[in-house]
Structure 1
Amino acid sequence: MVTRRWLAGVAGAALCVSPAMADTLKDALVQAYGTSPVLAGARAQLRGVDEGVPIAKANARLQVSATIGVTQSTDGLTTFENGGRALTGGLNLSYPLFQGGRVKNAINAAEARVIAGRADLRTTEGNLFTQAVSAYMNVIRDQSVVELNASNVRVLETNLRASRDRFQVGDLTRTDVAQSEARLAIARSQLATAQGNLTASRETYRQVVGKWPEKLDQPPALPKLPATADDAVKIALSNAPTIASVTANTQAAGYDVRTASAQRLPVFSVTGGTSYSDYLNTRAQSSGQPASLNDQFDQTVGQNRIGLQMTVPLYQGGGVAARVRQAQAQESAALEQGIDVERRVIATTRAAYANFSAAGEAIRANQQAVSANRLALEGARAENTAGTRTVIEVLNAEQEYLNAQVALVTAQRDQYVAGFALLNAMGQAQADVLNLDGGALYDPVAHYGQVRNRFGDWSDDSKYKTTSVHTTGETPKDADVQPLAPDPLLGTDNSVATMPAPAGSLVPNPANVTRPPQ
């Protein structure tokens, strides 16, 4: 499968071309897979579902109980007549032979829910990887946007200096300078917003992946995706874990109906046990009786028994029928849920495919826009030097060029995220499919094999230790996001500075305007 070789095939190349400290997308996915509390919690939930099988099997096994007690008769306390004090003990055994099929169907339902739980774990895994890819690409996008805006600020600072120099010699008007100042102030505002977005994206990355993104390498190319949306839907319907989960849960609901119906049938059991009583020398004693007479009665009594027992339910107050109807309603709900999940899988797959295709078209269009705006900016600058273009036209060309670049990196991020979301919708975004080799993969079958036939009442698990990592002790170092210092070009408070008018200028200085008399 192409997807299986996706990350593995690019790992070596990424290490060759990337800086030593750069994290790759594969690193991020391996980190998330091994340290995510969401995934660790889903695994723990599945282990709890596994225990449903031995719980159901326990109802078909031998039941053993013991009793022990001391009794004191309240009649004749002073004479202890007729065995007034006794120490009793007993051992009771019961083994079910036939229970109407309730145990068998309960076991089948529990096993079906284990299958559903494994599918749910795969869904959680795919969703986590999709979130990690989105967080990874968001950081790369926002880093690019910050760099583009920072470059734009530097260009506009140079433009403002040039405009002020030309204003001093009378080549530009005060309006041209003010337009340059306003555009620089707007650019610094856009840079601050981009830096805030980058910090937010990095925090989301740290939440999902479990570490702060110092430097991220460009992601590998996506694996080959289906040629049409119909092809993608076919793959999703046969491979999506959500469909596998709802199918198994529907089967379990059917077994629940049979389990409830079996409560109407008789139950056959083999019973046995032993009992022991010690009357503590009080049996048949009474005042005035000679000790020789007391010796005629045994002070200890033991009894062994074995038998066959049949319990026939004749009337149970309507509870059985209610439980059957309840199970039938839950089965009906599961059947309807299966159709709903199928609809959602189709809709999600088609939407992801449409987003992927649309982002591809946007990339191509924005690449043309970037190229065209670059040429337009170069021409506007040259024509401004020749005096045929105004300053505001150059500023507009620079803004349009920046907007096209931002739109391009955004579309590239959107296409990659939509492509991976399409893989997830098709059930091809799990660790075993992506061939992550950051260590041994979690095997849900191993735990099931350990517990499915356990029969001991004292075989508890050891105290759980978390496998996810905390991020509270990590201090991020973010050189790209710094508070904007006051810009001397715009004044100490980033407000537009007032320029003195050059000698002979026809543009009045607003500070020196004298209003005519009213």
Structure 2
Amino acid sequence: MQDNYKKRRMKKIGIIYFLLATISYGAQSTSLMEVYQLATVNDPLIKEALANKEAIIESRPQARSLILPQLSSSATFSDSDVNGQSTFQQKFVNPITGDESVLTSNTDFIQESETLQWDISLRQSIFDYGIWMNLRKANKTVAQAEVDYLAAEQNLMIRVASGYFNILAAEDTLEAEQAARQSIEKQLDQAQKRFEVGLIAITDVQEARAAYDQSIANEIIAKRSLATAKESLRSITDSYPGKLKKPDNNLPLIMPNPQRENDWVDTSLGQNLSLMSAEVGVEIARSEIKIQRSGHLPTIGLQAARRETDTDSFRSDSGGSLSPADSENISDGIGIQMTLPLYSGGQVRSRVKQAVARHRASKEKLERVARETTKVARDSYLGVISGIATVKALQQSVMSSATALQATEAGYEVGTRTTVDVLDARRRLFSAQKNLAISKYDYILNILKLKQAAGTLKVEDLEQINTWLM
């Protein structure tokens, strides 16, 4: 009677699993490329990288502007009323005695004036080593910004793929933990019944209880990990993902091409974008040294100016009537100016030493990035190689677990196995499937990371991987 009840219960469980699988299969799934397209529009980091690139690009015309002529003009209008006193001195010589005398007279005056003055000036650098080096530095800075943006685009692909497959891994882990909890719950129920009839000691029940409590904790942790993975992807796409497509059973296991590890390392050292950016950074720091050393050199420039002043004025002396006192002045000038720095309190020398130290720091950064690039290239290459072997081994493990489950279910049908045995076998199958799925995700991510290290990662690589999902 009890065996028939167990059989009916197992049949109901199987129907439920079938319905859930049918519903999941019918639901619309989101592909990797759809998530990536959302990320390209909504990710703050890629937007920040684009804005930084656009800002740095403007440094080139700013540096070039210092070489071009500088033309400026100004105009001034003033209206003034002046009340004052003029003092005049006249010298007289007595024709008889020859004595000199001075006659001083004071005259009051009123003057009203309107003055319009305008200036135009032209400055053209003839020789300034610093501004030419600054232009070279600006060109290198723009090149570095473009490389950094390409690196940000590659980094976005990696972040999207990592977030995508982290969610799938978290979902697989949660399913495995739920299957484990169900199996352990049945084991606990069976242990309690056997204890009640005196077949086992209380310690066996306590061990089963401890295992069940641990399974609940593991399931809670798995749910939290899934929520965290979804939140991480949402921070990139600004939306929570729905059901995601998974790699199908016919996932191609492709060996890296070229197949030699050192070939990938050599390619990475020549094309890795982060390494290229660091190399340009060394050149920028070298240009900065030249710019600061130019503080010791003379500068030569051409200067030309024109000024015109037009004054409309009326003046009255000693209370008389107002009479015109207009004036107009025009002045033109052109010349060459040479400036030679003699002493600036040690500022130029200090700036040169500072630039030299930063150049040394940039070279150390280049060495660090080169070593990191080599490490990532080797690690990713080995990850792809070992990933292929791991996927093949776990595929065999899933087949073995599935065969074991079938044997256990057959034993349950004839009464030689219990429900706990069936659930435990199913838990092992879920665990093997989870490990297989995670190994596939790791294999795919290592492919992308290897191409990123080599500087060859493109959107087409994501599109290819997207064809492997269903």
User: Which residue matches 2:347?
Assistant: 319
Query: 1:409: Cα distance to partner?
Result: 3.0
2:66 to 35, 59, 79: 59
Higher relative contact order (CA 8 A, sep 6+): 1
1:337–1:163 CA distance, 2 compared to 1 (3 A): closer
1:184–1:264 CA distance, 2 compared to 1 (3 A): closer
1:211-250 per-position Cα deviation (integer Å, ceiling 9, x unaligned): 2111111257587634232122112112111122122222
Please state which structure has a larger fraction of its residues in helix: 2
1:245-268 per-position Cα deviation (integer Å, ceiling 9, x unaligned): 122222222333333333434333
2:437 to 386, 391, 409: 409
Is 1:332 equivalent to 2:360 in the alignment? Answer: yes
1:371-403 per-position Cα deviation (integer Å, ceiling 9, x unaligned): 455556666788899999999988876665554
Question: Secondary structure of the equivalent of 1:409?
Answer: helix
Question: Secondary structure of the equivalent of 2:359?
Answer: helix
Is 1:310 equivalent to 2:342 in the alignment? Answer: no
Contact 1:276 1:300 in 2 (8 A): no
The correspondence of residues 11-410 of structure 1 with structure 2, limited to 5 A, is 21-69=28-76, 77=84, 87-156=115-184, 173=200, 183-219=211-247, 225-226=256-257, 227-281=259-313, 285=315, 287-288=317-318, 294-295=323-324, 297=325, 299-317=326-344, 318-373=346-401, 403-410=431-438
CA distance in 2, matches of 1:301, 1:366: 98
Query: 1:290: Cα distance to partner?
Result: 5.4
Q: Which deviates more from structure 2 when the two are superposed, residues 385-394 or residues 122-131? A: 385-394
Contact 1:180 1:395 in 2 (8 A): no
Query: 1:205: Cα distance to partner?
Result: 1.3
1:136–1:366 CA distance, 2 compared to 1 (3 A): same
1:41-84 per-position Cα deviation (integer Å, ceiling 9, x unaligned): 10000001001011101112222333344568898558896978
Q: Which deviates more from structure 2 when the two are superposed, residues 231-240 or residues 60-69? A: 60-69
1:247–1:222 CA distance, 2 compared to 1 (3 A): farther
CA distance in 2, matches of 1:384, 1:146: 27
Contact 2:295 2:341 in 1 (8 A): no
Q: Unpaired segments of 5 or more residues in structure 1?
A: 1-17, 437-518
- TM-score w.r.t. the length of structure 1 is 0.67
Contact 1:62 1:93 in 2 (8 A): no
CA distance in 2, matches of 1:167, 1:391: 18
CA distance in 2, matches of 1:40, 1:48: 12
The structure having more radius of gyration, on CA atoms, is 2
CA distance in 1, matches of 2:206, 2:354: 76
CA distance in 2, matches of 1:253, 1:96: 28
CA distance in 1, matches of 2:215, 2:182: 9
CA distance in 2, matches of 1:370, 1:177: 31
CA distance in 2, matches of 1:98, 1:222: 64
1:82–1:358 CA distance, 2 compared to 1 (3 A): farther
1:360–1:94 CA distance, 2 compared to 1 (3 A): same
1:392–1:152 CA distance, 2 compared to 1 (3 A): closer
Contact 1:96 1:267 in 2 (8 A): no
Q: Identical aligned pairs, as a percentage? A: 20
1:456-494 per-position Cα deviation (integer Å, ceiling 9, x unaligned): xxxxxxxxxxxxxxxxxxxxxxxxxxxxxxxxxxxxxxx
CA distance in 2, matches of 1:19, 1:123: 38
Amino acid at match of 1:225: P
Query: 1:315: Cα distance to partner?
Result: 1.0
Amino acid at match of 2:171: Q
Please state which structure has a larger fraction of its residues in strand: 2
Query: 1:138: Cα distance to partner?
Result: 0.9
1:350–1:62 CA distance, 2 compared to 1 (3 A): same
1:63–1:193 CA distance, 2 compared to 1 (3 A): same
Query: 1:167: Cα distance to partner?
Result: 8.0
CA distance in 1, matches of 2:388, 2:262: 18
Question: Secondary structure of the equivalent of 2:302?
Answer: strand
Amino acid at match of 2:39: A
User: Which residue matches 1:497?
Assistant: none
What is the RMSD of the two structures over their aligned residues, measured on CA atoms? 4.1
CA distance in 1, matches of 2:415, 2:461: 62
Contact 1:125 1:431 in 2 (8 A): no
CA distance in 2, matches of 1:140, 1:278: 82
Contact 2:180 2:424 in 1 (8 A): no
Q: Unpaired segments of 5 or more residues in structure 2?
A: 1-24, 87-107, 465-470
Amino acid at match of 1:187: S
1:265–1:156 CA distance, 2 compared to 1 (3 A): closer
1:434–1:83 CA distance, 2 compared to 1 (3 A): farther
CA distance in 1, matches of 2:309, 2:174: 87
CA distance in 2, matches of 1:245, 1:81: 75
Contact 1:266 1:310 in 2 (8 A): no
CA distance in 2, matches of 1:355, 1:213: 27
1:70–1:54 CA distance, 2 compared to 1 (3 A): same
Q: Which deviates more from structure 2 when the two are superposed, residues 225-234 or residues 316-325? A: 316-325
1:414–1:85 CA distance, 2 compared to 1 (3 A): same
Is 1:422 equivalent to 2:450 in the alignment? Answer: yes
